[in-house]
Structure 1
Amino acid sequence: MTAVTTHRTAEEIGRTATGPRPLPALGETREVALPDVVEQTLPSGLRVLAARRPGVPMVELRLRVPFAGSDADHPAVAELLSSTLLTGTADRDRVEIDDELAAVGADLGVSVDPERLSIGGSGLSDGLPRVLAVLADVLTAATHPDAEVARERERLAERIAVARAQPRTIAREALQRRRFGDHPITREMPRAEEVSAVTAEQVRALQAAALVPGGSILTLVGDIDPQAAIAHVGDALAGWTAGHDARELDPPPLPDPGDLLLVHRPGSVQSQLRLSGRALRRDDDGYAALQLANLVFGGYFSSRWMENIREDKGYTYGAHSGTEFVPGGALLGVETDVASDVTAAALLETRYELGRMTAVPPSADEVEAARAYAIGSLLISLDSQGGLAGMLTSLAADGLDVDWLRAHPGRLTAVTTEQVAAAALEFFAPSTFTGVVVGDAEVIGAGVRALGGIEGP
């Protein structure tokens, strides 16, 4: 005889005859031991950080080179440089580079943005000297062959043309212009026609002028001897020199509060809400309190804003707020994508939740939940070699080190509910934000204008 089963809803599963099932208490947060970091600045000006993190016989490598430029064609040339850096040197062609890395289980990738050029990858620990030899070769002798530049130029132009049609790209560019005007930090993606005009000679000239060690940071984390690893770097990269430092991006002017700009995107069935206000950098005494206040508002799935516009109203699949660090400052970002017909309603609820952060401060329970999440997610992110390497590089660029990282869980633990409430009052008032609403103005315009604080078509 077959047993008859009935479907039970999630609410039914979570309840008993006497009420909701009790949740088990959270266990004690496990500490992740952070290794000592050995640091040395080479004669070339390259800062090298090395940390031993055994467990798997691998090493993670992160190279950060300041890579700012003010010329109009800099973003396009820089994108092509990053795309062709690993395509050949005087001694190795693309296949030989790939084969040599593969022989030690390694890979390298290159990316660039208005602030930096980054090279990252991993490989077997005992293959580190070989990886460094390849890295040194491309840093000092990359040839950017004409055929490779032509091939990557065509591919990149096509990819950019597609990306520029995407709503999130349009919204990001509009937000950057709203926040920073024409500052070089806004030039995150060149136009396809700008890429198509770049020559191989321009790429080679930019490498010679800008890809230099002074002010750059190389981080190694893995199953290594830190002192020996730094010695390998010194030997391998001895020929990477220049008479000047890499160019840092000038700090942009931080945006003032103001109206949201309505950006018309004809035919769009969705709208992008992007709000931005000022925040604090990591070394500020109030950073930990702001971090917890942000989590309560919209920084994780159990936040107030997410509960409102996703779980309760169903306006969006996801909503997120967080801190974005820029040279000389930090910004608080609030973003979500919603259907056109609920754009005004979603904006209203967003402003409501921002205002509620100031009028109804985070409760002790909300702060404790945010604290547990903040500490737990930080420790999880540092549990891998790659996560630690990335964090150490980011901190070093901001003038911080592993001691800041070790102390941060303690800072989060020490923050009081009153301090979080003060951060909420200072940084989350709707009047402290500016930003953009991107969508079909003919569909959403009347609704969002009726809320006030909107300018544009």
Structure 2
Amino acid sequence: MSAPTTHRSAEQIGRTPQGPRPLPDLGAMREVPLPEVHTTTLSNGLRVLAVHRPGVPMVEVRLRIPFAAAGPTADQAFSARAELLSSTLLTGTAERDRVGIDDELATVGADLGVFVDPERLVVQGSGLAAGLPTVLGVLGEVLTSATYPEQELVRERARLVERISLARAQPRTVAREALQRKRFGDHPIALETPTGEAVAAVTPEQVRAVHTAGVVPRGSTLVLVGDIEPQSALAEVEKALGHWRSEETARELSLPPLPVAGPLELVHRPGSVQSQLRLTGPARRRDDPGYAAFQLANLVFGGYFSSRWMENVREDKGYTYGAHSGAEFVPGGAVLGVETDVASDVTAAALLETRYELGRMVAVPPTAEEIDAARRYAVGSLLISLDSQGGLAATLSALDAAGLGIDWLRERPVRLEAVTPEQVADAALQYFAPERFTGVIVGDAETIGPRLRALGGVE
């Protein structure tokens, strides 16, 4: 019988009789190993990117159609029709009903899904690589002859109204809507979820009209990533989608305004026992030469678990389970978001500590050790995100929409390695100073209001 083992703590495992166990040096990574991207534009205006990524015998399919409202302000009617279109696009065509579509995809182990936001309509899915012609055939069918059967649309409309009603009862949804209004006013990008009343008023004819006007190839991009031969895949796309035609061009979202620094807005949610803190300000775009320095500054502040802010409000103070900051990319720019949820009785204290950590980014810039740790995390998380076919397809689609290509990804570790502490300090000074932010706090104003107003900067 073997002797019982003695449990050792993580600290004990990490030490030797001579002191802490040293970590091996990390080798410099010069580039991310990525495959070649084969690109073409069909005669109908559809841009296609095909990538050979073996490993599993599957293929990822991701179609991005710019799908913005026509006007300069948020439009409940259009948003409601777009949401219902995304819910019913795959429910019937001139050739098949919903079951027929599902059965055809199932023959090649595939599925497709649809989602929409103020910028785009996305059809995405995966299937066996050998079944790519079948997947593209179904995709071409729904793009050119979706019928939006009335019975299916009525059923999905009722479900969507119910889902919206449930979502709007959630504090995080309330906070997100309030934050988007604070950031962008009445610009269409602020309207991410229509009202249930607007959805309930949508008819099948209106959805079909939105499809005809907006589901168009010119300006859209299809990304294929998987165990495929790129040139053969491009030929299959031409065969399946070449007849998808329209005189229209996919409608890009107009440039939204960037957040203007100012007081935080207190949004009253009666009876709430928690508060949602949402701060925001401008950020750097991906194609900005200083983006790498901004990314590292953000990681040090609140971009990952070992950040300063997380260490303060979670590990030290115990105010929250999680706190996060990060950039959201919008047409023509980017916005920085700083968010956490806390109990009502520590709302003011959490805001105070958040402002303190923002100020500390300016007064006590990130050290070389903090920057190196953030740099390792940035490169490692990049590799993980691109390890799957789906992750690579999503990233390529997002970069293509921003006018960037795979070379931007390959060179990203080099750019991160080249960032100096002085550049990170400059990014912290420019983007993390407390007075550069605005935002919202959602909670019971009668409970949290007096202390917040005493801190100042809350209206």
Q: Is 1:56 the equivalent of 2:63?
A: no
Aligned length in residues:
454
2:23 corresponding residue in structure 1: 24
Q: Which moved more, 1:417-426 or 1:63-72?
A: 63-72
2:68 corresponding residue in structure 1: 68
Q: Which consecutive residues of structure 2, in runs of 5 or more, have no partner in the other structure?
A: none
Q: Percent identity?
A: 71
Residues 10-54 of structure 1, C-alpha deviations (whole Å, 9 max, x = no match): 6666667776x4253254377642011011111111100011111
1:195 corresponding residue in structure 2: 199
Please point out which of 365, 378, 381 is paired with 1:374: 378
What's the CA shift for 1:231? 1.1
What's the CA shift for 1:379? 1.2
2:297 corresponding residue in structure 1: 293
Amino acid at match of 2:439: G
Q: Is 1:149 the equivalent of 2:148?
A: no
2:39 corresponding residue in structure 1: 39
1:319 corresponding residue in structure 2: 323
Cα distance in 2 for residues equivalent to 1:266 and 1:420: 41
Superposition CA RMSD, Å: 1.8
* Corresponding residue SS for 1:258: coil
1:167 corresponding residue in structure 2: 171
Cα distance in 1 for residues equivalent to 2:61 and 2:86: 17
What's the CA shift for 1:9? 6.3
1:274–1:336 Cα contact (<8 Å) kept: yes
* Corresponding residue SS for 2:76: coil
TM-score (norm 1): 0.96
Q: What aligned pairs does 1:31-430 form with structure 2 within 5 A after superposition? A: 32-69=32-69, 70=71, 71-430=75-434
Cα distance in 1 for residues equivalent to 2:358 and 2:428: 9
TM-score (norm 2): 0.96
* Corresponding residue SS for 1:80: helix
* Corresponding residue SS for 1:271: strand
2:59–2:225 Cα contact (<8 Å) kept: yes
* Corresponding residue SS for 1:349: helix
Amino acid at match of 1:51: V
Amino acid at match of 1:436: V
The 3 A distance-change label for structure 1 pair 18 and 316 is: farther
Cα distance in 1 for residues equivalent to 2:233 and 2:5: 62
What's the CA shift for 1:383? 1.3
Residues 138-189 of structure 1, C-alpha deviations (whole Å, 9 max, x = no match): 0000000000000000111001100000010000000001111111111100
Amino acid at match of 2:76: A
Cα distance in 2 for residues equivalent to 1:390 and 1:3: 52
Q: Which consecutive residues of structure 1, in runs of 5 or more, have no partner in the other structure?
A: none
Amino acid at match of 1:116: R
Cα distance in 1 for residues equivalent to 2:406 and 2:242: 27
* Corresponding residue SS for 2:239: helix
Cα distance in 1 for residues equivalent to 2:34 and 2:104: 32
What's the CA shift for 1:380? 1.3
Residues 213-237 of structure 1, C-alpha deviations (whole Å, 9 max, x = no match): 1110100011111111111111101
Q: Which moved more, 1:64-73 or 1:360-369?
A: 64-73
Cα distance in 1 for residues equivalent to 2:406 and 2:349: 44
Cα distance in 1 for residues equivalent to 2:18 and 2:171: 49
Cα distance in 2 for residues equivalent to 1:55 and 1:262: 51
The 3 A distance-change label for structure 1 pair 155 and 23 is: farther
Cα distance in 2 for residues equivalent to 1:15 and 1:28: 23
Q: Which moved more, 1:104-113 or 1:69-78?
A: 69-78
Cα distance in 1 for residues equivalent to 2:95 and 2:130: 23
1:32–1:383 Cα contact (<8 Å) kept: no
Residues 186-225 of structure 1, C-alpha deviations (whole Å, 9 max, x = no match): 1100111111111111111111111111110100011111
The 3 A distance-change label for structure 1 pair 212 and 419 is: same
Cα distance in 2 for residues equivalent to 1:449 and 1:318: 24
2:270–2:443 Cα contact (<8 Å) kept: yes
1:351–1:430 Cα contact (<8 Å) kept: yes
